[in-house]
Amino acid sequence: MMFRIRELCRPLSPGAQCRPGQPRFEGPLGAAIETGRTRLLVLGGLFFLAFALVGGRLVDVTLLKPAADPKRNVARAAADPDAAREFFRGEIADAKGELLATNIVTWSLYADPKMILDPAATAARLVRLFPELDRKELAEKLKPSDKRFVWLRRHLTPKEYQEVIAEGLPGIGARKDRRRVYPHGSLGAHVVGYADIDNHGIAGVERQFDGRLKRGERIQLSLDLRVQHVLREELAAAVKRHHAIGAMGVILDVHTGETKALVSLPEFDPHEPGRASEEGRFNRVTLGTYEMGSTFKILNTAMALDSSVATLTKVYDARFPLKHGKFTINDYHGKGRALSVTEIFQFSSNIGSAKMAIEAGTPRQRAFMGRAGMLKPVSIELPEIGAPLYPRDWKPLNTITISYGHGISVTPLHLAAAVAGIVNDGKRAPVTLVKRDPKEPIPYVPVVNSKTSAEMRQLMRLVVEKGTGKRAEAPGYFVGGKTGTADKSAGKKGYRRNTRISSFVAAFPMNAPRYVVLVMIDEPKASADTPEATGGAVAAPVVREVVLKAAPLLGVLPAENTSELTDEKRPGQKAPAKPPAKPAAKPAPPAAGRLERAATE
C-alpha cells in the first residue's frame, strides 16, 4: 500500500514556525501516528510522576521523619498486624522522668513447616537448646502443613539467638521483635500495669493509654518513684511486723490532686503477671471497697460544722449507749460523760458522731457525701476502678452508721481525695495519675467553706497531739489526721471478729496542708507490742515514718516550732463540757440486735 507524504514541513499551529524534516502523513496512517505520539507523551508523563513520588517518599522516610514516627507506626500496623510487635511502643515515666516502662529489641523464633526436612530431628535439636519446650508438641508443629509461619519461642536472649543461628536448621528462623520491660519491677506495678507478649495493654496505665502508647506517645505520670519506694517499704515492713495479709497506701497533692505514690500489697511482677496470685494483681487502693470506720468521722464532723448544725463547743450527751430500734451503738473507749464536738472527734465517739448526724438529717448527709465524691467512682486514669456501695434507700439507721464509717463502702482513694479537699480550704481537686500542666486551670469542686476547713485542720492536729493518733507525730511537720479501726464485714452475718482493717489518714503540714497520706493495714495481728492492733497503734507509726522520709523528697522541710497551737487556741476547750440537765437516754443493756464493734478509735 502506498501512502503519499503531503509535505515535509507544516506549521503545527497557525502562525507557528515550520519544523523541517518532520513528515506528515495523510489518511489513516497519519491519524494512527498522531495517536501513538500522544499516548507516548502521556505514558512518559505518568512514569515521570511515579518516579517523582517514589523519590519524594524516600527523602521523606530517610531524611525528614524519625524512625519511631507515630503515624508511620499506625499505618504500618494497619497494613500488617504482625508488624505491630516491631514498633516502638511509647514509654511511661514518673514525674522526674524516671522510666517505668520501656522497650528492648529482641529476636523471636519461628518455623516454616514446609521447609522442615525432618520434624522429629529438628524438634530434638531445638529442645536441647530450649529444655522448657515440649518435644512431642514441637514436632507436631513442625510437620508439613498449609501454614508457612509458626511461632516457636518469643523473645530470645542474645546468647539464645546466636545458638539457634549456629545450628543452621532449615526452616527455622528468627525475626526482630520488641519486648516490654519494666525497669523497676513490681514497684508501681498496680499503677503502670502490664502489656501482653504482643505489646497490647492489659492492665493499669498500659491499658488506659493503650492507643496513645501504640502511637509511640510518651506518658508522664505524677508518681514520684522515690516517694513510691518509701511508701512501699514502710507498708511492707508493717505487714511483716504485724503479720497482716496486706496493706494499701496513697499520697496525694492536695492542691493539684496529683498522685505522688500509690501502693497495694501484695504486689506482682509485671514481667510475669501470669505467675502472680489474683490477690497480688488486685489493686486495693482504686478497686477494693471497704467500710472505712472512724476515719469517716472527718466527713461527718465537717458536714455538721459546715451546715451550722454544730459548733466546736457544742455539747452532746455521750454518757449512755444510743439505741435505735433493735440496734445499740456504743463507744469503744467511752468517757461516760457529755462531750463537745471537739472531744467527740478527739476521742472518736461513735455516740457523739451519730447524734450529730441525726441532728443534721439524712438528706443533708447524703448531699454532703455526694459533694465529697463518695457516691460515684473516682475519676482517675486507670481501668481498675471500684464503685462505692451505699444504701439506695437511705434510712435513719444508715445515717447513724455512716456517721462513723459503716454502712457505706468506698475505695481508699475516695477517702484520701475527700480529706484532701476538706483540708485544702474546702476545695477538692480531681485526682490524677498524669502529671499536670502547671498552666492548665484545675476544676476544683467545693466541699466545705474556708472556716470549716480551718476548724477541721485544728481538730485533725489535735488528734495527733493529744488524741488517738499520737504515734503519727513527725517533729516539724505538724501532722494531723484521724485513726480508724473497722471490723471487716461478713455480709448479712454482721462483722467478723479479729479481722479488722487498721488505718490512719493524715495531712501535713496542718498550718498549710500540702499532702494527704492514707495508710491501711489489712488484718494486723495483735502482739505484745500492739495488743489491740488498732489504727493508732498499727497505721499511725507508718504514717510518721513515711512523712519523715518522703516530705524532704517532696520539698517540704521541717519547721523549728513543732506545736503551732497553744492551749488557749485549742478548739472547743474554752470551758469544760457540762452534761445536759436531763439525760437523753437511760442506760440500756446489750440487745440481741446490737451492732457489732464496727468502728473503734
From the list 347, 349, 364, the residue with the least C-alpha distance to 317 is 349
- Looking at per-residue pLDDT, the higher value among 332 and 366 belongs to 366
pLDDT confidence bin for 64, thresholds 50/70/90: low
Torsion sign, CA atoms 472, 474, 476, 477: negative
Is residue 423, in this structure, part of any structural domain at all? yes
From the list 497, 546, 544, the residue with the least C-alpha distance to 523 is 497
Do residues 440 and 352 both lie within one domain? yes
Distances (CA, A) of 413 to 290, 347, 511, 582: 11, 25, 23, 43
Do residues 432 and 528 both lie within one domain? yes
The span from the CA of 253 to the CA of 442, in Å, is: 13
pLDDT confidence bin for 600, thresholds 50/70/90: low
Do residues 442 and 517 both lie within one domain? yes
Rg (CA), the chain: 36
The span from the CA of 149 to the CA of 37, in Å, is: 50
Q: Which three cell numbers stand for residue 439?
A: 498552666
- List the beta bridge partners of residue 508: 515
Residues 6+ apart with CB under 8 A from 446: 371, 426, 427, 428
Q: Which helix (H) or strand (E) holds 93?
A: strand 92-93
Q: Exposed (0-12), middle (13-18) or buried (19+): which is 451, by Cβ within 10 Å?
A: exposed
pLDDT confidence bin for 489, thresholds 50/70/90: confident
Number of H helices, E strands in the chain: 19, 21
Do residues 242 and 169 both lie within one domain? no
Do residues 387 and 474 both lie within one domain? yes
Question: Percentage of the chain with pLDDT > 70?
Answer: 82
The span from the CA of 252 to the CA of 257, in Å, is: 6
Confidence at residue 532, expressed as pLDDT on a 0 to 100 scale: 84
pLDDT higher than 90, residue 177: no
Do residues 294 and 201 both lie within one domain? no
What's the chain's length in residues? Answer: 601
Is residue 427, in this structure, part of any structural domain at all? yes
3-class SS of residue 320: coil
Do residues 403 and 382 both lie within one domain? yes
Angle between helix 297-306 and 362-371 (nearest 10): 110
Confidence at residue 17, expressed as pLDDT on a 0 to 100 scale: 53
Query: Within a 13 Å sphere around the CA of 566, how many CA atoms are in the beta-carbon half?
Result: 1
User: Region 460-483: what's the mean pLDDT?
Assistant: 96
Do residues 217 and 233 both lie within one domain? no
How many domains are there within the chain? 2
Identity (one letter) of the amino acid at 302? Answer: A
Task: Say which residue the cell 497480688 belongs to.
Answer: 280
* 294 counts as catalytic: yes
From the list 365, 367, 369, the residue with the least C-alpha distance to 357 is 365
pLDDT in tens, 496-544: 676 899 999 999 999 999 999 999 999 999 888 888 899 999 999 999 9
| Catalytic option among 186, 294, 349, 502 | 294
pLDDT confidence bin for 59, thresholds 50/70/90: low
Do residues 236 and 210 both lie within one domain? no
Is residue 43, in this structure, part of any structural domain at all? no
Are residues 322 and 400 in contact, defined by beta-carbon separation less than 8 angstroms?
A: yes
Do residues 526 and 414 both lie within one domain? yes
Residues 6+ apart with CB under 8 A from 135: 123, 124, 127
Confidence at residue 597, expressed as pLDDT on a 0 to 100 scale: 43
Do residues 567 and 491 both lie within one domain? yes
pLDDT confidence bin for 25, thresholds 50/70/90: low
Q: Which domain holds residue 178?
A: 89-221
pLDDT higher than 50, residue 81: no
User: Region 251-255: what's the mean pLDDT?
Assistant: 98
Do residues 440 and 584 both lie within one domain? yes
Is residue 198, in this structure, part of any structural domain at all? yes
Confidence at residue 23, expressed as pLDDT on a 0 to 100 scale: 57
| Global confidence as pTM | 0.79
pLDDT in tens, 405-451: 999 999 999 999 999 999 999 999 999 999 999 999 999 999 999 99
Distance of CA 496 to the CA centre of its chain: 30
Report the CATH number that the domain containing residue 494 is assigned in CATH: 3.40.710.10
pLDDT confidence bin for 26, thresholds 50/70/90: low
Q: Which three cell numbers stand for residue 342?
A: 471537739
